[in-house]
């Protein structure tokens, strides 16, 4: 029987069956096509050795520790990152707490305390530019040499470039999403950008207008462009529903609203409150507008629904990962 995916948080011990594995090391925010080139190499190595495949990630994102005053739009919070890694075929995600104390560990201590003692690594796979330890003193050459001394293999993976020969990076994807360009972002991610959250109660105005919505509050640093999107909604039980979503402050009906994701599911009337659901973004329809009253708003919502149905009617998976996530 296949072992269930393990999301190991904090300093929880690694179970014996996961020790001696192939470990992909990186922050992997977005789990984009560049990350996937590292992750796929780790999976290949794990299959070759008949060893478990693990991903070692750092939480919170190191940038938020070193520059807490600069908000960071995190593409894949830990639960979504774990879901993507599980879909790719990993057995576990080890979420290493990233603190100033951890950042002050020497490169040698990172190897002996984390890779060797905690994970019992048999082979490490990472990007060619991975640096670690106090003042980033550990680099690729140090990792290779440490592997030789401590008895584990090391594979370094070159930067992955897209079809235009540009390096795929989390920062490029953040910029596209902040501009609402979910189609180009999906091209770099290799799957449709997806968020996951609990469905909460709202003012139920949509219901009175004939457009009941599933409402989700997202992180304060979530910086997707405000507007209307063609989306696919996955319920907690795994069922999929097409829909149209609004992300923003609802200027027509709310003077001081904090940003909210509101999804209207087509041909659906069930209760969703309390479910942990996900929303995948397939197309940007228009920016957020303030309408002259509710009649104008409802007329536009009808046009948005028709446009979203047309967008979603022709969609095809971008990859195996996309097929598993949103089809």
Q: Residue 46: pLDDT above 80? A: yes
Q: Are the C-beta atoms of residues 116 and 150 closer than 8 Å to each other? A: yes
- Is the bond into 60 cis (omega within 30 degrees of 0)? yes
Q: What is the pLDDT of residue 257?
A: 56
DSSP assignment string, 257-277: PPPEEEEEETT-----TT-EE
Q: What is the pLDDT of residue 206?
A: 52
pLDDT digits (tens, 9 = 90+) for 177-187: 999 999 999 99
Strand, coil or helix: 68: coil
Cα separation of 164 and 268, whole Å? Answer: 41
Give the angle 150-151-157 at the CA atoms, nearest 5°: 100
> What are the backbone dihedrals phi and psi of residue 263, each rounded to the nearest 5 degrees, phi first?
-115, 125
Torsion of CA 322, 323, 324, 327, to 10 degrees: 110
Q: Worst-scoring range by mean pLDDT, 1-10, 74-83, 112-121, 141-150?
A: 1-10
Q: Which helix (H) or strand (E) holds 294?
A: helix 294-313
Q: What is the pLDDT of residue 201?
A: 79
Structure-token pair, residue 98: 């990233």
Q: What is the pLDDT of residue 259?
A: 81
Percent of the chain whose predicted confidence (pLDDT) is above 90: 80
Structure-token pair, residue 76: 């894949």
- Radius of gyration over every alpha carbon of the chain, rounded to an integer in angstroms: 22
Q: Worst-scoring range by mean pLDDT, 44-53, 201-210, 240-249, 309-318?
A: 201-210
Entry pTM: 0.93
Q: Are the C-beta atoms of residues 107 and 138 closer than 8 Å to each other? A: yes
Q: What is the mean pLDDT of the chain?
A: 92
> What are the backbone dihedrals phi and psi of residue 281, each rounded to the nearest 5 degrees, phi first?
-100, 120
Those residues with Cβ within 8 angstroms of residue 166's Cβ, 6 or more apart along the chain or in another chain: 172
Other beta carbons less than 10 A from residue 271's beta carbon: 9
- Please report which confidence band the pLDDT of residue 204 belongs to, taking 50, 70 and 90 as the band edges: low
Cα separation of 100 and 65, whole Å? Answer: 7
pLDDT digits (tens, 9 = 90+) for 267-291: 998 889 999 999 999 999 999 888 8
List the beta bridge partners of residue 260: 248
More confident residue, 305 or 297: 305
- Please report which confidence band the pLDDT of residue 253 belongs to, taking 50, 70 and 90 as the band edges: very low
Cα separation of 118 and 113, whole Å? Answer: 6
Cα separation of 188 and 32, whole Å? Answer: 6
> What is the average pLDDT across 205-230?
84
Q: Worst-scoring range by mean pLDDT, 57-66, 67-76, 254-263?
A: 254-263
| HEC sequence for 202-227 | CCCHHHHCCCCCEEECCCCCCCCCCE
Strand, coil or helix: 155: strand
List the beta bridge partners of residue 196: 278
pLDDT digits (tens, 9 = 90+) for 108-138: 999 999 999 999 999 999 999 899 999 899 9
């Amino acid at each position: 029987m296949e072992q269930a995916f393990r999301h190991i948080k904090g300093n929880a011990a690694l179970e014996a069956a996961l020790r001696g594995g192939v470990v992909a090391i990186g922050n992997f925010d977005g789990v984009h096509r560049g990350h996937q080139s590292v992750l796929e190499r780790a999976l290949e190595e794990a299959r070759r050795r008949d060893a478990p495949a693990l991903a070692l990630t750092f939480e919170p994102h190191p940038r938020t520790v070193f520059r807490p005053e600069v908000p960071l739009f995190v593409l894949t919070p830990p639960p979504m990152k774990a879901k993507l890694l599980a879909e790719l075929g990993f057995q576990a995600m080890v979420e290493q707490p990233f603190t100033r104390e951890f950042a002050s560990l020497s490169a040698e201590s990172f190897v002996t305390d984390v890779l060797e003692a905690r994970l019992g690594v048999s082979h490490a796979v990472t990007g060619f530019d991975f640096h670690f330890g106090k003042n980033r003193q550990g680099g690729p050459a140090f990792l290779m040499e440490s592997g030789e001394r401590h008895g584990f293999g090391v594979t370094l993976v070159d930067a992955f470039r897209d079809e235009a020969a540009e390096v795929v990076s989390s920062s490029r994807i953040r910029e596209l999403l902040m501009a609402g360009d979910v189609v180009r972002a999906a091209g770099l991610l290799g799957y449709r950008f997806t968020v996951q959250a609990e469905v909460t109660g709202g003012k139920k105005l949509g219901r009175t207008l004939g457009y009941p919505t599933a409402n989700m509050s997202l992180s304060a640093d979530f910086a997707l462009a405000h507007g209307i999107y063609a989306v696919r909604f996955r319920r907690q039980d795994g069922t999929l529903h097409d829909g149209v979503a609004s992300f923003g402050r609802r200027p027509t009906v709310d003077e001081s609203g904090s940003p909210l994701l509101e999804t209207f599911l087509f041909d659906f009337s069930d209760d969703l409150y309390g479910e942990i659901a996900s929303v995948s973004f397939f197309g940007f329809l228009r920016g957020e507008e303030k309408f002259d009253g509710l009649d104008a708003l409802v007329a536009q919502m009808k046009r948005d629904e028709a446009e979203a149905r047309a967008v979603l009617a022709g969609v095809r998976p971008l990859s195996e990962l996309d097929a598993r996530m949103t089809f």
